[in-house]
Structure 1
Amino acid sequence: MADNQDKLSRYLTQTGVNEHARFILELEFIQCLANPHYLNWLAQNKYLEDKAFLNYLQYLEYWRQPQYATYIRFPHCLAMLELLQSEHFRQVIASPVAVDEIHTQQAFYWMHYRTNRIKEAAAAAAAQAGQAEGRQAGSTNGQADTAAAPPAAATAAQQPPA
């Protein structure tokens, strides 16, 4: 990783790109990786066969760190970045059928993720409220039941021997 940082420092010195501009450019680029049609374009134009480009993708793994990941709006890009490390995926993404399948899965995820999380949160809140009511009812009922029921020793003494 230190070797990559040295290369990056030399690159920045040579190109004159400041750190803020680099951050914005890399953020924009990594988020483009969430688009399966863009990945297909990269594959069709042989970028996914270029060793330098693959090294750049490896370098971008730092975006997984929490201090950087908070800026990402399309988390699928991190999943795609991971998949792009696989040669098999780089070959498969060149197929329009694979692109359509990934695009469809993403659409279903985006359509239903929020709705499903809201339903899960509502169910969890209802269950938690039900447990709280049960504990409250149990504590008052338990006290009433304990007061109403005679101690076990007293009931045993009241029963005649068989």
Structure 2
Amino acid sequence: MSNDLALSPEDNDQMMTGTPTQAEREANQLRFSTELEFVSALSSPAYLVSLAQRGFLQQPRFVRYLHYLAQHWRTQAYARFVRYPAGLTMLENLLEEEFRGAVGSEGWEEMVRNKMIGHWATWRTASAS
């Protein structure tokens, strides 16, 4: 029998204290960065159209991933890192089947882009009233 599976004293200490290993910290950082980049990319109507054209928005596994992201990234602990809040808005909208079906339809990208520009042009004046 091999002792290859035996834990070192350091590994045992980390397991007992719940302190993540260096490899776990790096994996967590990579996952955080990847998810943040993806949520940010959702702020681009062109990117959403690309996802629709490739069929991702109709795949149940991808939709479950969107639900997972929404569950975490809408919390204050995560949302504070998002630089493009439109990504969170689009993530919310993508949870709705009707919205996912509309993405990529004729004129959708231009319509959404124009609404976003209109919002950016007036959001400060609307909140000042």
TM-score under structure 2 length normalisation: 0.73
After TM superposition, the runs of 4+ consecutive aligned structure 1 residues lying more than 4 A away are: none
Return the index of the structure with the highest Cα Rg: 1
Structure 2 equivalent of residue 41 of structure 1:
50
Unaligned runs of 5+ in 2: 1-25
Distance 1:60 1:72 in 2: 12
Structure 1 equivalent of residue 78 of structure 2:
68
2:104 is matched with which residue: 64, 76, 94?
94
CA RMSD, Structure 1 to Structure 2 (Å): 1.9
- Compute the displacement of 1:117 (Å): 6.3
Structure 1 equivalent of residue 27 of structure 2:
18
Distance 2:85 2:113 in 1: 14
Report whether the alignment pairs 1:56 with 2:65: yes
Structure 2 CA distance for partners of 1:91 and 1:117, relative to 1, 3 Å: closer
The count of aligned residue pairs is 104
Structure 2 equivalent of residue 83 of structure 1:
93
Query: Per-residue displacement from partner, 1:39-59 (whole Å, max 9, x unpaired)?
Result: 111111100111111111111
Which of 1 and 2 has higher RCO (CA within 8 Å, sep 6+)? 2
